[in-house]
């Protein structure tokens, strides 16, 4: 497996072996992520963190990952990015930044932007979200969380919320197709997963089940993966209220759940998960968010060629 | 003027052409879309005639005859996307000099515009649209290489 200078654009670019290797590496680096051990793995490497859209979690966890490994961050936040580029197109910006950094971590509002960026430079590009497109590092951390906190191979998972536009969910389903997952999709019909994606999954040997009942879906699963439902998707606010309430996770709903059920959420949440759930053994979303650090450490170290 | 090598003599409703192209077996109803591809202003000076809903052995078809111009490979590819059963007959000296079935290309660049307004190919960037062509039993659909959006029914409306 050669990771050095690999572009991380879409989960579809990663084989099962590659994903496993990233997760294994993350395991080894976890003590460094927790600051229990020191490391110089990324010493001498400069990573440009180029965000054209606001983000806290993804950007901070990338920056933490780099700093824990003693690499350098060249950070342009959303505001800086727009003033630095002053109407310059992305292709030009990338060709400028490649002269400053050993790797480019990109968040951009247009779908396909990361793929184009990678074509413009030989410096490795990591897609940290391209519009409604891909967000592969989120998927790596989701998989890592399942492996650490529940199980990944053969996991029974219910995925709930906005399955139509939610980019994390599509990548996640593709990745889970490598692990013989048993997937149930929970969403109102307005927000069902697009037909093409269901068909792609079928071609990869994964038959997903669909339901709009949260209660049915969580009966017998290892993991419940909840995503945010955006108000803007609903022309009628009353409709939004109805749908978001029907999918809300409360301690009441979890009374009869499998005691080992783990609940994940890519965060930020609005009101999909009642705060009472935070104190149950089911809540896994804050750990999940921390796991973004070791997973991004692993990916960066491999791509920079600093570890094998 | 009779046309020796035609077994559909009685169906010819237009003047025979001396040199040019006959695009035959166009999916009925698609002739005007094919014209969008080959009829760009300045590409042909000669007469073009269009038959819509002409009878054929398998129902209806459209036919286009172009005087004085042999169409090129790029046009071939585009036509294949919207009329996958078309045949291209090159006419020289009133005779069919060559006959080719259009080939659906596996990949197209700069031919069709992505329908996703938020696709990077629809912004101020120095890249062309790129699509991978999927062809399931002559049901043709395109998948954008950048944003993965699918175009199926309305390919003709998005030709560049
Ligand atoms: N000189 C010509 N002028 C106009 N149309 C022609 C000419 N020669 C052939 N065609 C048309 O081109 C198509 C292909 O011709 P041909 O190979 O003879 O028929 P087919 O493909 O039906 O066996 C037919 O639609 C025919 O009417
Ligand atoms: Mg014929
Ligand atoms: Zn596109």
Mean pLDDT by 10 residues, chain A (308 residues): 94 95 98 98 97 90 98 84 79 95 96 98 97 93 98 97 82 93 92 86 91 90 93 84 89 91 94 95 97 98 97
Residues in chain B: 160
Q: Where do the H-state alpha helices sit in A163-236?
A: 167-176, 195-203, 214-217
- Nearest of A110, A168, A121, A127 to residue B114 by alpha carbon: A110
Q: B108: which DSSP letter?
A: E
Q: How far apart, in whole angstroms, are the C-alpha atoms of residue A144 and residue A136?
A: 12
- Enter the tokens of residue B81: 């996307």
Q: How far apart, in whole angstroms, are the C-alpha atoms of residue B81 and residue A2?
A: 38
Q: How far apart, in whole angstroms, are the C-alpha atoms of residue A65 and residue A302?
A: 13
Domain ranges of chain A: 11-134+291-303, 151-283
Contact (CB, 8 A) for A54 and A279: no
- Enter the tokens of residue B27: 């999916």
Residues of A classed as catalytic: 57-58, 86, 107, 135
Fold of A11-134+291-303: Rossmann fold (3.40.50)
Contact (CB, 8 A) for A235 and A225: no
pTM, rounded to two decimals: 0.88
Give pLDDT tens digits for B40-94.
767 777 888 999 999 988 899 999 999 999 998 888 888 999 999 999 999 999 9
Fold of B107-158: SH3 type barrels. (2.30.30)
- Nearest of A236, A238, A162, A219 to residue A194 by alpha carbon: A162
For B2-101, CATH gives: 3.30.70.140
Cβ contacts of B144 on chain A, cutoff 8 Å: 112
SS3 B64: strand
Q: How far apart, in whole angstroms, are the C-alpha atoms of residue A274 and residue A263?
A: 12
Nearest 5 degrees, angle CA A66-CA A70-CA A73?
45
Hey, are the CB atoms on B118 and A131 less than 8 Å from each other? yes
Interface of B with A (CB under 8 A): 116, 118-121, 123-127, 144-150
Protein residues placing their CB within 5 Å of the ion ligand 3: B 114, 116, 119, 144, 146-147, 149
Label residue B31 by pLDDT band (50, 70, 90).
Answer: very high
Distance from CA of A52 to the nearest CA of B (A): 14
SS3 B137: coil
Q: A251: which DSSP letter?
A: T
B127-160: string of b/e by CB count within 10 Å (b at 16+)?
bebbbebeeeeeebbbbbbbbbbbbeeebbeeee
Domain ranges of chain B: 2-101, 107-158
- Enter the tokens of residue B152: 């199926």
Q: CB of B8 closer than 6 A to ligand 1?
A: yes
Ligand number nearest to the C-alpha of B62 = 1
Angle of the B73-82 helix axis to the B31-38 helix axis, nearest 10: 160
- Enter the tokens of residue A171: 């990548």
Amino acid B2: pLDDT? 43
Distance from CA of B122 to the nearest CA of A (A): 9
Closest C-alpha to ligand 1, atom 16: B6
Q: What is the CA radius of gyration of chain B?
A: 17
Q: Where do the H-state alpha helices sit in B27-154?
A: 31-38, 73-82
> Over 80: is that where the pLDDT of B6 sits?
no
> Over 50: is that where the pLDDT of B38 sits?
yes
Phi, psi (degrees; rounded to nearest 5) at B100: -135, 140
Label residue B13 by pLDDT band (50, 70, 90).
Answer: low
Tell how far the Cα of A162 is from the centroid of ligand 3, in angstroms.
21
* Direct distance between the N- and C-terminal alpha carbons of chain B, in angstroms, rounded to an integer: 39
- Dihedral over Cα of A12, A18, A21, A26: its sign: negative
Query: Among the listed ranges A16-20, A146-150, B14-18, B115-119, which one has the minimum average pLDDT value?
Result: B14-18
Amino acid A60: pLDDT? 95
Q: Which atom of ligand 1 is nearest to the CA of B94?
A: 1
Fold of A151-283: Rossmann fold (3.40.50)
Contact (CB, 8 A) for A160 and A227: yes
Amino acid A171: pLDDT? 86
Amino acid A277: pLDDT? 97
| % of chain B beyond a pLDDT of 70 | 90
Angle of the A16-33 helix axis to the A136-149 helix axis, nearest 10: 70
């Amino acid at each position: 497996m050669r990771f050095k200078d690999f572009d991380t654009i879409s989960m579809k670019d990663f084989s099962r072996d590659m994903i496993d290797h990233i997760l294994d590496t993350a395991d080894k680096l976890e003590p460094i992520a927790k600051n229990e051990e020191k490391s110089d793995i990324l010493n001498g490497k400069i990573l440009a963190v180029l965000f054209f859209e606001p983000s806290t979690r993804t950007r901070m966890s990338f920056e933490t990952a780099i700093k824990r490994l003693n690499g350098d961050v060249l950070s342009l936040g959303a505001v800086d990015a727009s003033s630095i580029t002053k109407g310059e197109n992305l292709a030009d910006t990338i060709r400028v930044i490649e002269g400053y950094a050993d790797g480019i971590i990109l968040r951009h509002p247009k779908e396909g932007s990361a793929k184009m960026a990678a074509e413009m430079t030989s410096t490795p590009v990591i897609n940290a979200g391209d519009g409604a497109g891909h967000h592969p590092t989120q998927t790596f951390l989701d998989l890592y969380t399942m492996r650490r906190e529940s199980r990944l191979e053969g996991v029974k998972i219910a995925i709930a919320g906005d399955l139509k536009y939610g980019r994390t969910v599509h990548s996640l389903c593709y990745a889970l197709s490598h692990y013989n997952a048993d997937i149930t999709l929970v969403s109102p019909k307005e927000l069902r997963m697009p037909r093409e994606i269901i068909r792609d999954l079928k071609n990869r040997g994964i038959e997903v089940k669909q339901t709009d009942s949260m209660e049915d879906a969580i009966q017998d699963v290892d993991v419940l993966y909840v995503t945010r439902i955006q108000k803007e998707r609903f022309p009628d606010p009353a409709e939004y209220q109805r749908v978001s309430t029907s999918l809300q996770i409360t301690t009441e709903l979890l009374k009869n759940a499998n005691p080992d059920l783990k609940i994940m959420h890519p965060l930020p949440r609005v009101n999909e998960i009642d705060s009472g759930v935070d104190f149950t053994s089911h809540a896994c979303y804050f750990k999940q968010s921390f796991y973004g650090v070791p997973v991004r450490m692993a990916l960066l170290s491999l791509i920079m060629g600093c570890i094998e | 003027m009779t046309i020796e090598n035609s077994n559909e003599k009685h169906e010819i409703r237009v003047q025979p052409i001396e040199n040019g192209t006959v695009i035959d077996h166009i999916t009925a109803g698609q002739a005007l879309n094919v014209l969008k591809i080959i009829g760009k202003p300045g590409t042909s000076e000669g007469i073009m005639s269009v038959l819509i809903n002409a009878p054929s052995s398998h129902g209806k078809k459209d036919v286009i005859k172009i005087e004085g111009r042999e169409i090129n490979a790029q046009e071939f590819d585009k036509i294949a996307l919207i009329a996958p059963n078309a045949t291209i007959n090159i006419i020289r000296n009133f005779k069919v000099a060559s006959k080719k079935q259009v080939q659906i290309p596996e990949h197209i660049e700069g031919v069709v515009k992505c329908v996703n307004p938020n696709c990077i190919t629809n912004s101020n960037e120095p890249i062309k649209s790129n699509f991978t062509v999927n062809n399931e039993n002559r049901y043709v659909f395109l998948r954008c290489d950048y944003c993965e959006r699918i175009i199926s029914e309305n390919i003709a409306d998005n030709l560049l």
